[in-house]
Amino acid sequence: MLDLDRLRALHAIASYGSVSAAADVLHVTTSAVSQQVAKLERETGQKLLERNGRGVRLTDAAELLVGHAERILSLVEIAQADLEAHRGAVVGELDLGAFPTSARGLVPQAILRLRSEHPQLRVLLHEYDPLESLSMVARGDLDLAVLQDWNNQPLVIPEGMRKGTICDDIADVALPADHPLADRESIELKELAGDPWISSTEGTVCLGWLTHTLRAIDSEPRIEHKAYEYATQLALVGAGLGASMLPRMGRCDLPPGVRVVALRPLLTRRVYAIWREEAARRPGIRAVVEALRAVAPPAPPELTADA
C-alpha cells in the first residue's frame, strides 16, 4: 500500500526540482522529505532519486510514479471536497495566496468576517505574486488564490481551474511633486513617454504589464528602479526618481513629495479568486470567495459611469 504522505513528498520534489524546495512547500525539514522518499523506495523496491551534481533527479521509475501520484492526490482532494459538501459545514483549513495589495486591502477584513460567520474554518494567508499563486494553486500547494490581471493584458488560466470575480480596480499614476504634470487632474499615458519609471521586480505581473502597456503607446520603457512593495516605489517617486503606477485598492499613505494623477482612458484591473475544479464543492472555498466579495470596495464611480 502506497503512503499518501510519501507520494506527496515525491510529487513536491518533481514539482519544485529539489528536496529543499519540496521541504519548504511541505513545511517540513529536508531530512523528513528524504526519509519519506527512502521509505517509498523500500515500499516500491525501486530507486527513485539519483544524484545530479549538487542536487537530485528523478529516475524513470519515479517519473512513472509521479504521474500516478498526481491522479491519486487529485482523487483524494475530490473525496475531501465531496465529504465536506455532504456534511454541508464550513470547516477545516484553507491556504490562501494573495498578491500584496489584496493581502493588505481585502484579506484581513475577509478573514475577520469568516472568523465571525464560520469559526470552524481556518484560513492561512500566504503573500505571493499572482504568477506564483497561479502555479501553486494548479499544483495543489494552495487551496485558492486572489489574483489580478489588467484590461489590456489578461492572465491565462489553466484548464481544470475555476474563477470568481471579486471586484474591479483602477490605476492612477504617482508623480514627483515637481513634475510638470503633477498638478493636472488627469493626463494621458502618452504624455509620460520617455519618462523614467519605477516598477515591481523581475518576473512579476506588474512589471510585465507596465512594459506591455508602455510599448502599446510606442514608448520604450525606461524602468530605472525596481521594488516589490508599493511603499518603497512611492518613496522613490517622492525622491524625484521617476513615476509609478498606483492601484487604488490597498493604497498606502502617500509620502511627502508625491502627487497622484488620474489617467485617461482608465487603466483597470480585475481582482478575482481561482481554485481547482476538484475543490469546487468545498463549502470553505465558497465561503472565502463570498467573504472577499462582501468586503471588497464598491465599483469606483468612473467604472459605474462607463457601464
126-178 tens-digit pLDDT: 999 898 899 889 888 899 999 998 877 888 888 888 999 999 999 999 999 99
Residue 307 has pLDDT above 60, yes or no: no
Specify the DSSP class assigned to residue 248. S
pLDDT at 271: 94
Name the most confidently modeled range: 41-45, 86-90, 241-245. 241-245
Fold adopted by 92-300:
D-Maltodextrin-Binding Protein; domain 2 (3.40.190)
State yes or no: pLDDT of 189 exceeds 90: yes
Q: Give the CATH architecture of domain 4-84.
A: Orthogonal Bundle (1.10)
| Domain pair 4-84 / 92-300, same fold | no
Is 43 within 8 Å of 9 (Cβ atoms)?
no
pLDDT of residue 256: 94
Burial of 87 (0-12, 13-18, 19+ CB in 10 A): exposed
- Predicted TM-score (pTM) of this structure: 0.71
Q: What is the mean pLDDT of the chain?
A: 87
Q: Where are the domains of the chain?
A: 4-84, 92-300
